[in-house]
Amino acid sequence: AYTGPSVDDIYKKRKEFLSPSMFYFYKKPLNIVHGKMQYLYDETGRRYLDSFGGIATVSCGHCHPEIVQAIVNQTNSLQHSTILYFNPAIAEFGEALASKLPGDLKVVFFTNSGTEANELAIMMARLYTGSHDIISLRNSYHGNAAATMGATAQCNWKFNVIQNGVHHALNPDPYRGVFGSDGKMYAKDVQDLIQFSTCGKVAAFISEAIQGVGGIVDLAPGYLPAVYKSIKEAGGVCIADEVQAGFGRTGSHFWGFQGQGVVPDIVTMAKGIGNGVPLGAVVTTPEIAEVLTRRSYFNTFGGNPVCTAAGHAVLRVIEKEKLQENAHVVGSYLKDRLTALKDKHEIIGDVRGRGLMLGVELVTDREQKTPAKAEILHLMDQIKDLGVLIGKGGFYGNVFRITPPLCFTKEDADFLVDVMDHSMSRL
Ligand code: PMP
């Protein structure tokens, strides 16, 4: 039985001792003390179906036994920083990870987070090209350190960072964007930025294939191929941020960018790579990787043996349990059911995404696309009370984000949709 502090006690401790900027969604916050695959448990033992996977950080399932075992085994033999000595866990995971990437993407740098991975990617792009300008998308989230906060383009997540040389392109958002689903039209904005906001040369373009924090925006088809062409012509490199869309989540492919048929020069990843342990990575070509030999570069804990042992186990589990295929099968089924729900409930303005990275945007008026901000908060609480945890995002905070552990089943999908349906019927 649970003997720890009550929710109220934790609340008091958080208020007194922890960052005042931390937030939570529910009116009465949850105290989650235990996790098992797609389920989370509060201190009373109540079970919740996790449809958010800790913001897509849990790829294979909470406390997946094989991954836990790999972490325990490695912790029992060695936990050390990555510098100075050789260690098999790090090298073996580096090789396994590189083998999952296409083309010449063969060199891996480990970090502790997505922010660090994107910071490193941006720095390498600048070193490699000798240019400074970065183009990212409006509505994007790439991290919260200097360069990544500059690349991030939602005022919700930005402080007053100096962001010279960062340009934010029109978001190729099929639902709210000015050109609908015409990817090539949005891509022209990147060409315009190169021509009319820079010296004609750029360091990099960075984007996700499906925006996570931005509210599950699946970039308009044809967008990335056209943009990558413009960027290359301007001497820049293309960075794919796979922090959320990677590791089989989109179902059809292992990486999100493959859905648009492009091959980036640098790929960044975090979250699902470690099934919950702090791990991130940058994978690039030997030619680009070479820039870091100009100085000494290291990251004390990035890619330590315990985290890389976890990452390696994640790759094995995704393969063994056919989780990418499951994301495709269950994700398609879930998307069909959510799309049918849209016919029933006026409040659903859009259903989108791929695999187990789905979004449901709520609006109070389908014509005006007025964000249903208050309604979504109310619904989230109702859905939680019925035993399902779901995420929320988008600039207006009016998009349900569904990014469960990839072991989510059709029965889980049915339960989630039935609970959403019931809650929306009572609005
Ligand atoms: N890129 C994307 C696409 C993300 O969603 C996030 C985190 N939400 C980050 C980068 C930053 O990752 P971290 O929080 O691990 O620094």
CATH number of domain containing 351? 3.90.1150.10
- Report whether residue 82 contacts ligand 1, using a CB cutoff of 6 Å: no
Report how far residue 343's alpha carbon sits from residue 50's, in angstroms, rounded to the nearest whole number.
Answer: 25
Q: At which residue do the structure tokens 């619904």 appear? A: 379
Average pLDDT, the chain: 96
Residue with CA at minimum distance from ligand 1 atom 13: 114
User: Same structural domain for residues 174 and 266?
Assistant: yes
Q: Looking at 320, 352, 379, which one is the last position of a domain? A: 320
pLDDT tens-digit map of 137-158: 999 999 999 999 999 999 999 9
Residue pair 375/347 in contact by the 8 Å Cβ criterion: yes
ipTM of the predicted assembly exceeds 0.85: yes
pLDDT tens-digit map of 245-273: 999 999 999 999 999 999 999 999 999 99
On whether residue 267 sits in a domain, the answer given is: yes
At residue 113 the predicted structure's pLDDT band, cuts being 50, 70 and 90, is: very high
Q: What is the pLDDT of residue 80?
A: 83
On whether residue 258 sits in a domain, the answer given is: yes
**What number does the ligand 1 atom closest to the CA of 280 have?**
15
DSSP string, 176-192: TSTTTT-HHHHHHHHHH
Q: How many CA atoms lie within 13 A of 8 on its CB side?
A: 0
Residue pair 408/62 in contact by the 8 Å Cβ criterion: no
User: Same structural domain for residues 165 and 125?
Assistant: yes
Q: Looking at 320, 344, 365, which one is the last position of a domain? A: 320
User: Same structural domain for residues 290 and 333?
Assistant: no
| Chain centroid offset of residue 354 CA | 13
CATH number of domain containing 74? 3.40.640.10
User: Same structural domain for residues 179 and 303?
Assistant: yes
At residue 21 the predicted structure's pLDDT band, cuts being 50, 70 and 90, is: confident
Q: What is the pLDDT of residue 117?
A: 98
How many domains is the chain built from? 2
On whether residue 2 sits in a domain, the answer given is: no
Mutate to test the pocket of ligand 1, among 23, 217, 271 (most ligand atoms within 8 A of CB): 271
Q: What is the pLDDT of residue 53?
A: 92
Q: What is the pLDDT of residue 140?
A: 98
Domain boundaries, position 420: 7-60+323-425
| Chain centroid offset of residue 306 CA | 22
Query: How many Å is the Cα radius of gyration of the chain?
Result: 21
What's the 3-state SS for 66-123? HHHHHHHHHHHHCCCCCCCCCCHHHHHHHHHHHCCCCCCCCEEEEECCHHHHHHHHHH
Report the candidate in 237, 231, 227 with the shortest Cα–Cα distance to residue 129. 237
Q: What is the pLDDT of residue 257?
A: 98
